[in-house]
Amino acid sequence: MANVSGEMYSVGARRAIIFRLNAAGYPIYGAASASPYEGIEVLGVKNFDLTIPPVRKIVHSGNDRVLAFDFLPAIEGAGGGLTVAGRSLSLDAMISGVIQRTVGETKMIAQDTDLQGSEPDVALFVMQQAKDATLRSRRYRYQIIPKCVISSTPPGQSEAVAETKYDIAISPTVNHLWGTAFSVADDGCTEAAVVEGMAEGRPNLVAWLGDNVITVFNLPTSKPATATSKIHAVWVNGVPDATFGKTVTSITPTAKPGVGVVVVALYEY
């Protein structure tokens, strides 16, 4: 069993994935398939900034002095931003709700549209490298935002290097990205905006859509699990599957997923 202590020193911005969510909040898009839905990888992530507003500090005063302090929940939402080296029309189309159009041999999307303010809900998975604070061994820190909306600010054109900036508005949610509800028993809370974790290998999250026919679901060919022990969990419509079958290239849920059933896996590659 690898020593993942939860104590780490982290640096950089290695990878960011944005998932389209279905109506139930699962990270899935497209038709049923044995191949996974991997979301869209951000092209050349440079920075991920996260702002979680502080709680409100309440001061009870009287008799010309402070009588007591107290806290109340924040009344501002969490937010963040991504600074990206590249441009991805398919990603901008997904987060804005427009369609990437093909005209001849070119691709294009509309910007500054009437859909502003009606952006679809998406999820964000970001990762950076880290070192275990005790062993100094390689580890990875990751953050999952189960539900947010993202808007982009495309760059103009000049001799300077072009960067795309994405603004992120984060919504607290009652469910993890894989559909399981936050609970006092397992999480100590019933609602959250961000989930943070630590892994020995590079973490990845993928999803599939069942059709009552497919029984074996393949991991991405370019990202097989480093070992079967590194396939940490599989959820079927948010319910943990404790006895699923696994190889380093695939998972097999205990029961054949029916039509429209979403399967999600968290593993290391």
Token reading at 242: 């404790």
Q: How far apart are CA 163 and CA 156, in angstroms?
A: 9
Nearest to 85 by CA among 135, 136, 160, 35: 160
Could you tell me the residue ranges of all domains in the chain? 8-53+71-201
Token reading at 148: 């947010």
- Phi/psi-derived region of residue 23, left when phi > 0, alpha when psi is between -120 and 50, beta in every other case: alpha
Say how far residue 47 (Cα) sits from the centre of its chain: 15
Nearest to 180 by CA among 218, 142, 146: 146
CA 140, 141, 144, 149 dihedral sign is negative
Q: How far apart are CA 126 and CA 146, in angstroms?
A: 11
pLDDT digits (tens), the chain, 269 positions: 567 899 999 999 999 999 999 999 999 999 999 999 999 999 999 999 999 999 999 999 999 999 999 999 999 999 999 999 999 999 999 999 999 999 999 999 999 999 999 999 999 999 999 999 999 999 999 999 999 999 999 999 999 999 999 999 999 999 999 999 999 999 999 999 999 999 999 999 999 999 999 999 999 999 999 999 999 999 999 999 999 999 999 999 999 999 999 999 999 99
Q: Beta strand 40-41 with 8-20: parallel, antiparallel or unpaired? A: antiparallel
Distances, alpha carbon 224 to alpha carbons 204, 230, 246, 248, 250, in Å: 10, 10, 11, 6, 8
Query: What's this model's pTM, rounded to 2 decimal places?
Result: 0.94
